[in-house]
Amino acid sequence: AQTVTQSQPEMSVQEAETVTLSCTYDTSESNYYLFWYKQPPSRQMILVIRQEAYKQQNATENRFSVNFQKAAKSFSLKISDSQLGDTAMYFCAFMITYNNNDMRFGAGTRLTVKP
Amino acid sequence: DGGITQSPKYLFRKEGQNVTLSCEQNLNHDAMYWYRQDPGQGLRLIYYSQIVNDFQKGDIAEGYSVSREKKESFPLTVTSAQKNPTAFYLCASRGWKAGGRDIQYFGAGTRLSVL
């Protein structure tokens, strides 16, 4: 069974600084996708970034980037130039390529950006 | 605008009562999902449907039922058999984003509480 672990229940960062959220996963599969979702106080889940396991290049989306270490089964999210609007719960998620109906989520990291 | 609409935003259930959560999407997606979110835990899959008139159980289907009579609609019924229904419920649909990326889109959720 696939599991996703987020070891940091809560984190905080000063506005304009950089923060990294950790995620590790456990799987015997070689083809899969990894995701970071953001859930702001409105509770609406928003996709932040997506990584295909077969790609060696780390995904980036504006101020958001990942550090994907396949051998270590690690998938951290880096937020640069943090903004107050980045305050949210962040969920790491995993999905096997051939079973796109089974997405596994970590427990989440609550990030607070302080002014 | 295309999206997923969940209603109501807040719902209260009395003991022994069945309640139904609505989920409607106008994204023309075939696949739809129901997740349960509890504090300190990630999202857990209740049911999913890949096509009209077909649905499959997820990890925590006991005490819940669904129907998929229309492509746009995937209502979830929380039955009296669900002994701990208090949670936040998220509906999602899956489709292709520009660039060939298959991702899940989420509604804003329904908060269910027991009176």
State pLDDT tens for residues A79-112: 999 999 999 999 999 998 887 788 999 999 999 9
Q: Do A42 and B103 touch (CB under 8 A)?
A: no
CA distance B23 to A25: 30
Q: What is the pLDDT of residues B22-66, one digit of tens each?
A: 999 999 999 999 999 998 888 999 999 999 999 999 999 999 999
Contacts of A25 (CB under 8 A, 6+ apart): A2, A3, A4, A5, A34, A73, A75, A92, A94, A104
The pair of three-digit structure tokens given for residue A97, joined into one six-digit string: 């390529």
Amino acid, res. A78: K
pLDDT at residue B100 is higher than 70? no
Q: Indicate the pLDDT class of residue B102, thresholds 50, 70 and 90.
A: confident
Contacts of A50 (CB under 8 A, 6+ apart): A33, A34, A35, A59, B101, B103
Q: Do A101 and B31 touch (CB under 8 A)?
A: yes
Q: Which of A4, A9, A43 sits opposite B88 (nearest CB)?
A: A43
Amino acid, res. B45: L
Q: Angle at the Cα of A46 (from A42 to A49), degrees rounded to 5?
A: 150
Q: Say what the pLDDT of residue A49 is.
A: 95
Ramachandran angles phi, psi of A84, nearest 5°:
-55, -35
